[in-house]
Amino acid sequence: MWKRILGLTLLLVIVGVAAVFGRLYTRKPATAPPLAIKIEMTPERIERGRYIFQFISDCDGCHSERDLRRFGGPVAPNGRGKGVAFPPEMGLPGLVVASNITPDRETGIGEWTDGEKIRAIREGIGRDGRALFPMMPYGMYKHMSDEDVYAVVAYMNSLAPVRNPLPKTRIDFPVSLLMKSAPQPAGSAPSPNLEDKLKYGEYLVTIGGCIVCHTKMERGQPVPGMRLAGGQEFRTPFGVVISANITPDVETGLGRWTERQFIDKFYEYREYAEKGSPPVGPEGFTLMPWLGFSQLSQEELGAIFTYLKSQPAVRKAVETHPGQPKT
């Protein structure tokens, strides 16, 4: 009798687990239909999109071929937007590929509608309805204003098509199932108030991905209490780097910095951006987009600094280049 009951209970558990797994496996990510929109390609909009793509949101950082043997990883000739398969050294859960986002019709996104491009950027949904791996920071880009995302799409449409066949992203189980929860419909987003320095700084920090890189993550989630405190490790074939603490902690963060010092730190790299950056070894390797951020205006960098200084201070010492001599 007891054996019968135990066997029936075990069978029910197995059936229940299988049902839950089946729902997770077949579940589609939350999505909304792409906008039925055709972006007007004005020179002003294309230029604004270029500025966001190259300097603020660092789309080049993932989607362009870069020379990471040189400081700041400048974009390689004819490499903009052609896509990249990330190396295994990064320790990602499977093969992660940043797509070719040039207008090439066979290997890029030349067949995508503008609405599908907007949805991918802000909601993390591919043209085929799949969830994009959240290394693409669509959780931040959902806050990108309507006009700014239109500008980014206009700029992407203006890129020269590059034929570059790439493999498809293949994410390992169980991450492949869990990541389906990441995309969410974004709706509409207003343009930021440029007169409100604090709010504008928050906008720039958000769409610039500062929170994503400067907050330590565990199992794909930010560690509580560690927002902007650095400590996230990035491993590449060119070197290992750990993101810095950019909270206003006096001892381990930006607490002693002035706005002028903050701006000047970025402007140190303007010459590299304009004339070319030098070769660098593991001791100076960086994924921080110094070259792009060096092109931001003083007002934009000042707004970013104002927002960072308004955040909770977290005491956390970070060695950005572990095991390497100080540069």
> Given 172, 190, 208, which residue is the final one in a domain?
190
Instruction: Give the mean pLDDT of the chain.
Output: 92
10 in any annotated domain? no
Q: Are both 268 and 199 inside the same structural domain?
A: yes
Q: Are both 186 and 199 inside the same structural domain?
A: no
Give me the mean pLDDT over the 167-195 stretch.
Answer: 95
Give me the mean pLDDT over the 122-142 stretch.
Answer: 96
91 in any annotated domain? no
Note the Cα 176 to chain centre separation in Å: 19
Q: 202: left (phi > 0), else alpha (psi -120 to 50), else beta?
A: alpha
133 in any annotated domain? yes
What is the DSSP secondary structure assignment for residue 89, as one 8-state letter? G
pLDDT in tens, 203-221: 999 999 999 999 999 987 8
77 in any annotated domain? yes
Give me the mean pLDDT over the 193-204 stretch.
Answer: 98
Residue 40 has what pLDDT? 97
The string over 95-115, giving b where at least 16 C-beta atoms fall within 10 Å of a residue's C-beta and e elsewhere, is ebbbbbbbbbeebbbeebbbb
* 152 token code pair: 């980014």
Model confidence at 26, pLDDT cuts 50, 70, 90, reads low
Into how many domains does the chain fold?
2
Model confidence at 261, pLDDT cuts 50, 70, 90, reads very high
Q: Are both 72 and 162 inside the same structural domain?
A: yes
pTM (2 decimals)? 0.91
Note the Cα 13 to chain centre separation in Å: 40
92 in any annotated domain? no
**Domain membership of residue 119 as a residue range:** 33-82+99-190
Q: Are both 74 and 55 inside the same structural domain?
A: yes
Residue 223 has what pLDDT? 96
> Given 152, 169, 190, which residue is the final one in a domain?
190
Q: Are both 259 and 299 inside the same structural domain?
A: yes
Quick check: 157 and 39 in contact, CB under 8 A? yes
Quick check: 324 and 283 in contact, CB under 8 A? yes
More confidently predicted of 69 and 11: 69
CATH number at residue 114: 1.10.760
Residue 32 has what pLDDT? 92
> Given 140, 162, 190, which residue is the final one in a domain?
190
Q: Are both 278 and 131 inside the same structural domain?
A: no
Q: Are both 137 and 228 inside the same structural domain?
A: no
Q: Are both 170 and 208 inside the same structural domain?
A: no
251 in any annotated domain? yes
Tell me the C-alpha distance between 25 and 33, whole Å: 22
Examine the pLDDT at 12 and tell me if it is beyond 90: no
Examine the pLDDT at 14 and tell me if it is beyond 50: no
Residue 324 has what pLDDT? 87
Tell me the C-alpha distance between 193 and 120, whole Å: 25
pLDDT in tens, 302-311: 999 999 999 9
Tell me the C-alpha distance between 305 and 212, whole Å: 17
325 in any annotated domain? yes
Examine the pLDDT at 231 and tell me if it is beyond 70: yes
